[in-house]
Amino acid sequence: MAKIVQFQTNFSVGELDPLLKARTDLDQYQNALETATNVYVQPQGGVKRRDGLKFIHDFGSSFTKFKLIPFEFSVNDSYTLVVVAGRIYVFKAGVLQTNINASGNDYITATAITADMIDELNYTQAIDTIILAHGDLHPYRLVRDADDEWTFEQLNLSFIPQYPFTQDYHEPTFTVTPSATTGNITLNASSVTTDTGTAQAGSSDTITLKAASSFTVDDQPNGMFIEITSGTGAGQTRHVEDYVAATNLLSVYPAWTTAPDATSNYDIKAYKPAAVGEYVNVKNGFGRAKIVQYISATSVKAHVVIPFFDTSAITSGNWESEHGYEDTWSDTRGWPKAVTFHQQRLYFGGTDARPNTIWGSRIADYFNFDPGTALDDEGVEATINTNQLNVITNITSSGDLRIFTTASEFVVAQSFGEPITPSNFQVKAQSRYGSKPGVPIEDLNGATVFVQRQGKSLISFQYTDSTNSYQSTTLSVLSSHLIKTPTDLAIRRATSTDETDRLFIVNADDGSMTVYSILAVQNVIAPSKFATDGLFKAVAVEIDDVYVIVKRTVNSVDKYYLEKFDNTLTLDSALTGGAAASVNVTHLEAKEIAIIRDGAIENSQTVPASPYTVTFDTAATSDYEVGLDFTVSIVTMPTEPRLSTGSVQGVKKRIIQIDALVYETQSININGTEISFRNFGEAVLDTPIQEYTGVKTVHGILGFSDTGQITITQTVPLKMTLLGLEYRMSIGN
């Protein structure tokens, strides 16, 4: 029977996927844990009890879907916005802002936002303004004027791009003459027959012109514009689709919104303002121009796309008008789903009708998406066409403009110092993972972190000098079991050397959160699981404060609370205070709560019904904390000492002694044995347990096992940091 000494010096791998339990050959195996629940990994390698959750606000049961949006207005002013159906709540430093806009309401009215939009609501910020986007929502902006003064309004889009959803062609019977062969030109119409008058009748897509119409030949006005100038249907402009001279019956395209009748007055001309955005095509291929400005009924300005052969008049039959263009974004066609600011442009991405297209505004004219004549500062547009369907889910500004779709990852690559212009706006594919709709993406040290389309892995997308391209790396390759249908994601960046960056993922399957402790320079990616008495529903990081929405069942009623991680707390949904003999715990009625009074643990109590008063065993003289305890569990991997004689996986093992290195710790249980931090039990003394740094030893551990694992737990909600484990083990049959 052999005796060996093992020393696990750190836990920097975090919780390891059960599928890797046999991979004792991996270097990561020796620094991993089988279970890491309600702890996080420190950059030095230890594991620490996670922060408690401070209770902030009770949203009751009326709302079940939430979006948390961080909003940093200035160095001194930052907010967490809580978006629910029809409302936006504003919290500053954890305090709800009241009487918003002097309305008497403690929220911003946002009736345009429905519950169904919350999950996939996208946003971006520039200074005092947040832009909100969703496929079913005309983009809105939220502007901060003061803590309690906010403006929520539809984005005033001065120009929406056009697209030929129902492309149509006509051969007008008049002549056009270009003023030049290239560049910006004027197109003049001649040999034009026009007509005005009062209609005899109308239907959904026709109008019967006056009896003495100027048009005496079939198809004569085809391709021209008819406008209802007054009477029924006034204000509508349509293309003439067809004309029958014998009956004066004129068909229009598209159909009327309001059908005209015998009271409708009409006007038919070669051009109307509605011509802007249409094309004039010469049939032999020598000439194509886009109409960009209406001048008069016989003259428009245009930008040449394909040069004309010369400036000769182009007679009827030798050219055609191309139309059927309409606003790319609308209630009918859908609104952009993704949004970001990048290099003085506002970018929108993906609609229901055009899911794989991205648009950029004019430079510093953020709500104007007019492509104009393709000058450098004018609007840009690109459609991603590959052999896969690329539905845009997110776009972000990070060095280059990065575009994430359900199939692949793309960038708009730029040379150093070169701005994006219409001429160089090219979208290039980089990797093929695809990102999950509705889950935010986050930037971390130059990498964009996203959840893969099927929601089963966490991916990092970053430029690498070695390949001169972007690479996607799976961060969750050793911990995919902790990714359980993610619905939300946020990153808290380290603020000191004893912290890592922390990436929070909300899991829909079990309401847990997967938390990755990341130290990029040390290649540390250490996951753990956060669980509470309830379900995590949403998460956001406001500078360095992590806010969550938690669904808790209180007295048989599901309620939704806003809570904040607080490193001074060890309980969840916690309330704190100073000297007091009792406290009202309204939000935890009928719940059993833990009590920490003046640093000492008191007996747990069940919160009574109204007035929900919990009286302490002894009055607090300096401070108290009350709330829900949570389970801490740390389980090491099955022992594999890598002996020269081979593996010991099938050999019985007995741990004889455990030496736990702890730091500023007040409570720890090792393999079911409660470790003493003073000579008497915690509950009977009226003084707090002092924090201990050093080695705690457990002797006399009985029983053999197949795995030789060590389990660390806590029975009381006090501080605990475990730096390493040394243990002596007997191996033999």
Q: Which position has the token pair 């309305």?
A: 103
Please, are residues 535 and 543 in contact by the beta-carbon 8 Å criterion?
no
pLDDT at 684 over 60: no
What pLDDT, in 10s, does the model give residues 575-604? Answer: 999 999 999 999 999 999 999 999 999 999
Please tell me whether the peptide bond between 527 and the residue prior to it is cis, using omega within 30 degrees of 0: no
Per cent of the chain over pLDDT 90 is: 79
Mean pLDDT of the region 83-102: 96
Mean pLDDT of the region 240-256: 95
Closest by Cα among 484, 489, 498, 499 to 541 = 489
What pLDDT, in 10s, does the model give residues 526-543? Answer: 999 999 999 999 999 999
Structure tokens at 274: 């509605």
Cβ neighbours of residue 255 under 8 Å, at least 6 residues apart?
204, 205
* Window from 297-306, 315-324, 704-713 with minimum mean pLDDT: 704-713
* C-alpha span between 630 and 717 (Å, rounded): 8
* Predicted pLDDT of residue 634: 97
pLDDT at 307 over 60: yes
Please tell me whether the peptide bond between 611 and the residue prior to it is cis, using omega within 30 degrees of 0: yes
Rounded to 5°, angle at Cα 150 from 149 and 151: 135
Q: What is the DSSP string of 482-499?
A: G--SEEEEEEE---STT-
Q: Is the dihedral of CA 212, 215, 221, 222 positive or negative?
A: positive
Backbone phi and psi for residue 202, each to the nearest 5 degrees, phi listed first: -165, 165
pLDDT at 418 over 90: no
* C-alpha span between 355 and 622 (Å, rounded): 59
For 301-319, b where at least 16 C-beta lie within 10 A, e where not — what string? bbbbeeebeeeeebeeeeb
What three-state secondary structure class fits 474? strand
* C-alpha span between 567 and 452 (Å, rounded): 31
Altogether, the residues listed in the chain come to a count of 733
* Predicted pLDDT of residue 643: 65
* Predicted pLDDT of residue 645: 65
* C-alpha span between 182 and 186 (Å, rounded): 11
Q: Which position has the token pair 């955005």?
A: 277
For 421-426, the CB contacts below 8 A with 24+ separation are: 421/376, 421/377, 421/380, 422/371, 422/374, 422/375, 422/376, 422/378, 422/379, 422/380, 423/374, 423/376, 425/360, 425/380, 425/381, 425/382, 426/382
Q: Domain 2-11+36-49+634-680+688-731: which CATH class?
A: mainly beta
Per cent of the chain over pLDDT 70 is: 97
Mean pLDDT of the region 235-249: 96
* Predicted TM-score (pTM) of this structure: 0.89
What three-state secondary structure class fits 411? strand
* Window from 89-98, 264-273, 599-608, 651-660 with minimum mean pLDDT: 651-660
β-pair partners for 242: 251
* C-alpha span between 7 and 642 (Å, rounded): 13
pLDDT at 17 over 60: yes
Confidence at 685, pLDDT banded by 50, 70, 90: low
* C-alpha span between 729 and 733 (Å, rounded): 13
For 227-254, b where at least 16 C-beta lie within 10 A, e where not — what string? bbeebbbeebbbbbbebebeebbbbbee
* Predicted pLDDT of residue 479: 95
221, 249, 253, 355, 568 from 205: Cα distances, Å: 16, 10, 7, 30, 71
* Predicted pLDDT of residue 676: 87
Please, are residues 599 and 621 in contact by the beta-carbon 8 Å criterion?
no
Confidence at 498, pLDDT banded by 50, 70, 90: confident
- Count of beta carbons in the 10 Å neighbourhood of residue 330: 14
* Predicted pLDDT of residue 466: 74
What pLDDT, in 10s, does the model give residues 609-645? Answer: 999 999 999 999 999 999 999 999 999 998 877 666 6
pLDDT at 151 over 90: yes
Confidence at 1, pLDDT banded by 50, 70, 90: low
What pLDDT, in 10s, does the model give residues 160-204? Answer: 998 989 888 999 999 999 999 999 999 999 999 999 999 999 999
What pLDDT, in 10s, does the model give residues 544-573? Answer: 999 999 999 999 999 999 999 999 999 999
pLDDT at 679 over 80: no
* Predicted pLDDT of residue 182: 94
10, 130, 690 from 341: Cα distances, Å: 42, 11, 51
Structure tokens at 76: 């001194």
Mean pLDDT of all residues in the chain? 93
What pLDDT, in 10s, does the model give residues 439-491? Answer: 999 998 889 999 999 999 999 999 887 777 888 999 999 999 999 999 999 99
* Predicted pLDDT of residue 150: 96
* Predicted pLDDT of residue 222: 93
Confidence at 76, pLDDT banded by 50, 70, 90: confident
* Predicted pLDDT of residue 468: 78
Laid out side by side, the sheet with 357-360 consists of 338-342, 345-349, 357-360, 380-383
Q: Is the dihedral of CA 158, 159, 165, 171 positive or negative?
A: positive
Please, are residues 714 and 662 in contact by the beta-carbon 8 Å criterion?
no
Cβ neighbours of residue 99 under 8 Å, at least 6 residues apart?
105, 106, 148
Please, are residues 98 and 79 in contact by the beta-carbon 8 Å criterion?
no
Please, are residues 307 and 286 in contact by the beta-carbon 8 Å criterion?
yes
Mean pLDDT of the region 665-684: 79
